[in-house]
Structure 1
Amino acid sequence: MITAALVFGPSKLTITSKIGAVYGYSLLWVVIVAIFFMAIFTSMSTRIGVATDQSLLASVKQKWGKGASIAMGIGVFLVSTSFQAGNSIGVGIAVGELYHTSPVPWIIFFNAIGISLLFFRSFYSVLERTMILLIFVKLFSFVTTFFWAKPDIGQILKGYTTPSIPEGSQGLIIAFIASCFSIVGALYQSYLIQERIRVRPELKNSKNDSTTGIILLGCMCSIVIICAAAILHPKGIAVNSATDMAKALEPIFGESASTLFLVGLFGAAFSSLIGNASVGGTLLGDALGLGSNFSSKSVKYLVALVMVVGASIAIKFGKLPLELIVFAQSVTIFIVPFIGTALYMVGNDKNIMGDKVNSTPVKIFGALGLIIIFSLAIINFKELFFNNPLFH
């Protein structure tokens, strides 16, 4: 649930709105592809977390040395911090639009709430409850919008079962798969499951399944695409941000619909604000030997640091600076294939995994997932360094 909540942030809401607005129902099949591979790697990460008492970065250090684990930890921290500003902006805009005020006070207020949650005695339990609540806020918002939209069921089925790549859609397909098939999110799953077991040791031998949360992630992506396809696509309304989607709903359904969608945007932004910061702080703390669980004060301070830096950038610039996006994408291009490979190799290692080692089907589909990850990295490398005006 936590993984699904942190992956479905403002950028996912924008990409899914845009897919439906521009290409209608035709790209719904992409959700199934991305969710399938996300489920494979998230379940792999869950089993790694259950199979061993040491953290994933400790297993990476055991297999490839200290340098590899430090590189992974610092890389994830840099990516999380770079993208954190977008989550702060999402929270500020969602609530600012609702109350017709500046986003800045809301950015400060909700980051302060996020930081205060860290210092509850059991941060994991608070995080779990908060994320589940926010998932249901998002689902309620988007499902209600779905029924308002009255989508074409036949076209929905066709979108899922008849894969097509409309002209000009390749960029959005790549963006969606890269963000939905989140290797960093899958990696963090192993830490979350260990934290869950630390808080409730009796869960060690129970079934720890990650599939439900990932299916919910797919449902949320699908519903937003379908809503945009039903409402915006026939009218030719383009969407460049999640707030555009909310504004576009207003003339059709009235203010209540846009308010409802902004509540969903707030849920997406606030869940990513806390979750994304937790990923960056935990991984850096583990890489530097400061601890890998939420009982460590150092980890809490590092999580808070990610929130403070993200909020500061959001307040100063009001949007993600292009240079910061380029920097984050550059780090992501190099770190994600490395993380995906590390997850796969640790999952295949019988000495570490014991009876939870990857099965043959998981090895096959995991290898296909790695091919996708490396292919996306090559495409993104080409786009970033050869087609980017900043490098000309």
Structure 2
Amino acid sequence: MTSTQLSFKDKIKKGLKDFGPAFFIIGYVVGTGSVTSMVVSGANYGLSLSWALLLSCFFTYFLLVSISKLTIVSGDTLMYNFKKAFGKPVTIFIIVALLVSIVSSVIGVMGVVAEVTMEWISVKTSISFLNAPAVSIFFICLLIGLFWTGKHENFIKAMSIMVGFMALSFIATSVMVVKETVTNISDFFPELPHGDNSGLVIAGIVGTTMAGVCLASRSILVQEQKWGIKDLKTENRDAMSSMALTFFISLAIMISATGTLYFQGIKVNDATDMMSALGPWAGDFALTLFTLGIIGAGLSSIFPNLLLFPWLIADYTGTERNMKKPLFKALVVIVALSGAIVPFFGGKPVWILIASQALSPFVMPLITLFLIILLNKTEVMKEYKTSIWMNIALGATLIFNIYMLYVALTGFMGYF
């Protein structure tokens, strides 16, 4: 009996270990940036931009599979492979571009977290001495303290549980919206208004799903899992499950926002405008549930962001990812402190966050092109060169990324 129980536990542990990278992808992608992009899209455009979500999840799957295979076969991480094959300058350019995405994401996420938290405090409590800068400093110090002491695993798990509750709430709300709506299904897909700047939102949806930073970290996580050639099927299944869950959770958020905000004529320009998105299902508890979910999603996505720049440096140099190095500790603190910019100096955190997600398409065509070249190099892939079907899929992904670069450029020009 005991041996059977141990065997069952071992199977569960192995399953969780095998899907570790998938959980990281889901936890990183379905964060405050994703919630914000999907809520803004649903509130302002209904489900008219859901095609961008579907295609970005579809093409990201091929990128995840390809990056994982490259890492497994070559034994090297993505940035190190880029440096060896294409030289230092272009690889440094990609890392700097990813750094801009990391920092801008931290700025936007903490701005949203602070604004939502302050709204909850003003509505639900009588506390009057707190403000957004104080709230942001508290959360920043908490994250730095957890990193410094190394006691972050249980905290991240707790944050993930909060995000899970919010995700389930959005799923329940989306079911209620579809079930109880008195409008035609076509009303969920309104025609986009002429001259409206939907390009930035489209780029934000794609950028938060097909995040360049997330794809680069995928290579690192696969290496840490110590996956080999025999694990290629596991890696494939892991990538598929992560993208399927990402799509369904993100779509549920978009549907919820369509039913609760778009049909009510409520546009989202500030973080507080998003707080009604869970109204039908959660009732009076919606404000608290959304706040807890945003805090959980925000902190659980900021923490990996703090680690990603040191990870990328270690990836580039091919050295050990020792986060106790003074340089890495200093970089973590600097990136964390950037989160105080919006609370202290002002700005619209919702649009700053969407703009930060929309930066990802600027570097994705280059990453995709380099990936295609490496996957077809015999000296890198040996007998495991990519198939013709995967080449076709990656070629389509490259075309999609080039188009998204154009959409992002026009979106930024239209906004500014």
Change in 2 beyond 3 A, CA 1:10/1:35: same
Give the CA deviation at 1:116: 3.4
Give the CA deviation at 1:370: 1.0
CA distance in 1, matches of 2:351, 2:253: 29
1:371 is the counterpart of 2:399: yes
Query: CA contact under 8 A between 2:306 and 2:336: conserved in structure 1?
Result: no
In the TM superposition, 1:49-64 aligns within 5 A as 49-64=71-86
Residue type matched to 2:211 in 1?
A: S
Task: Give CA-to-partner distance per residue, 1:154-199, whole Å, 9 cap, x none.
Answer: 9898799xx88634474233432233222332222111222233xx
Give the CA deviation at 1:48: 2.4
Counterpart pick for 1:143 among 168, 171, 174: 171
Change in 2 beyond 3 A, CA 1:140/1:98: farther
Change in 2 beyond 3 A, CA 1:310/1:366: same
Query: CA contact under 8 A between 1:187 and 1:343: conserved in structure 2?
Result: no
In the TM superposition, 1:23-62 aligns within 5 A as 23-62=45-84
Give the CA deviation at 1:252: 9.2
CA distance in 1, matches of 2:322, 2:295: 25
Q: Which residue of 1 aligns with 2:3?
A: none
Residue type matched to 2:217 in 1?
A: Y
Q: Give identity over the alignment, percent.
A: 21
Q: Which residue of 1 aligns with 2:192?
A: 166
TM-score by length of 1: 0.81
RMSD: 3.9
Give the CA deviation at 1:230: 1.6
Q: Which residue of 2 aligns with 1:214?
A: 243
Change in 2 beyond 3 A, CA 1:187/1:158: farther
CA distance in 2, matches of 1:139, 1:377: 29
Counterpart pick for 1:236 among 265, 271, 288: 265
**Secondary structure in structure 2 of the residue aligned to 1:232:** helix
Change in 2 beyond 3 A, CA 1:7/1:327: closer
Query: CA contact under 8 A between 1:111 and 1:308: conserved in structure 2?
Result: yes
Query: CA contact under 8 A between 1:45 and 1:189: conserved in structure 2?
Result: yes
Query: CA contact under 8 A between 1:5 and 1:134: conserved in structure 2?
Result: no
Change in 2 beyond 3 A, CA 1:25/1:75: closer
**Secondary structure in structure 2 of the residue aligned to 1:264:** helix
Residue type matched to 1:376 in 2?
A: M
Give the CA deviation at 1:305: 3.3
Give the CA deviation at 1:119: 4.4
Q: Which residue of 2 aligns with 1:261?
A: 290
Change in 2 beyond 3 A, CA 1:21/1:364: same
**Secondary structure in structure 1 of the residue aligned to 2:266:** coil
Q: Which residue of 1 aligns with 2:337?
A: 309
Query: CA contact under 8 A between 1:20 and 1:233: conserved in structure 2?
Result: yes
Change in 2 beyond 3 A, CA 1:130/1:73: farther
In the TM superposition, 1:336-351 aligns within 5 A as 336-351=364-379
Residue type matched to 1:214 in 2?
A: M
Change in 2 beyond 3 A, CA 1:236/1:157: closer
Give the CA deviation at 1:127: 9.1
Change in 2 beyond 3 A, CA 1:292/1:85: farther
Change in 2 beyond 3 A, CA 1:128/1:316: closer
Q: Which residue of 1 aligns with 2:219?
A: 190
Change in 2 beyond 3 A, CA 1:382/1:340: same
Q: Unaligned 5+ residue runs, structure 2?
A: 1-22, 123-129
TM-score by length of 2: 0.76
Q: Which residue of 2 aligns with 1:293?
A: 321
1:74 is the counterpart of 2:100: no
CA distance in 1, matches of 2:95, 2:48: 38
Give the CA deviation at 1:367: 1.1
Q: Which residue of 2 aligns with 1:8?
A: 30
Give the CA deviation at 1:64: 0.9
CA distance in 2, matches of 1:252, 1:372: 36
Task: Give CA-to-partner distance per residue, 1:79-119, whole Å, 9 cap, x none.
Answer: 21122111212232333333335333332233233233434
Query: CA contact under 8 A between 2:114 and 2:343: conserved in structure 1?
Result: no
Query: CA contact under 8 A between 1:13 and 1:242: conserved in structure 2?
Result: no
Query: CA contact under 8 A between 2:162 and 2:296: conserved in structure 1?
Result: yes
CA distance in 1, matches of 2:384, 2:162: 31
Give the CA deviation at 1:131: 7.3
Q: Unaligned 5+ residue runs, structure 1?
A: none
Query: CA contact under 8 A between 1:21 and 1:232: conserved in structure 2?
Result: yes
Change in 2 beyond 3 A, CA 1:121/1:235: closer
Give the CA deviation at 1:242: 4.2
Query: CA contact under 8 A between 2:32 and 2:298: conserved in structure 1?
Result: yes
Query: CA contact under 8 A between 1:156 and 1:226: conserved in structure 2?
Result: no
Task: Give CA-to-partner distance per residue, 1:303-343, whole Å, 9 cap, x none.
Answer: 51353332232342244689988996897565332223223
Give the CA deviation at 1:59: 0.7
Larger Rg: 2
Residue type matched to 2:234 in 1?
A: K
